[in-house]
Amino acid sequence: MSVCKTLIVLSAFMAAAYGLTCRECYIGIFSTCILGTNTDCNNGTSSCYRGDAQFNATGALKLHNRGCIDTDLCGKTLTGSLLGAAYTSTFNCCSTDMCNSASSLHLSVAIGTVLTLLSTLWVSQ
């Protein structure tokens, strides 16, 4: 029983030491990252996020960003101003590696897999 408890504690420490990997993007337009990278979060941040900042005056202009965030900010809406323009920011969080990556990338991988399978079936006939 003591060995099991020791293994559980060691596993928890190892998981905390490795941290979380998130997609990081400071500016994105139309849900697409501009110059995004992958980043390893530090131990102080335990969530990845997808954020939206909407400028209240225009209503149509939305900027998107992604990265690591402290769980306390998850699900919150913040307001502020940038160069005199008021904005509203929201943070949607998740807690698995690369969970905030672009959905278009996941779609491309899925489509590529299906096309590969279909071409394999076609060639084999």
For the segment 74-100, what is each residue's pLDDT rounded down to a tens digit? Answer: 999 999 988 888 889 999 999 999 999
Half-sphere exposure of 80 (CA within 13 A, CB side): 8
Beta bridge partners of 79: 88
Run of H or E residues at 121:
helix 103-124
Q: What are phi and psi of 111, to 5 degrees?
A: -65, -40
3-class state of residue 5 by DSSP: helix
Q: Helix H segments across the chain?
A: 2-18, 103-124
pLDDT in tens, 23-39: 999 888 777 788 889 99
Q: Cβ contacts of residue 35 below 8 Å, gap of 6+?
A: 25, 26, 27
| 18 vs 35: CA distance, rounded Å | 25
What is this structure's pTM? 0.62
Q: What is the pLDDT of residues 38-63, one digit of tens each?
A: 999 987 778 999 998 888 876 677 88
C-alpha 67/C-alpha 34 separation (Å) is: 13
State the Cα–Cα distance between residues 32 and 26, nearest whole angstrom.
11
Contacts of 108 (CB under 8 A, 6+ apart): none
Structure tokens that stand for 107 in this block: 């779609």
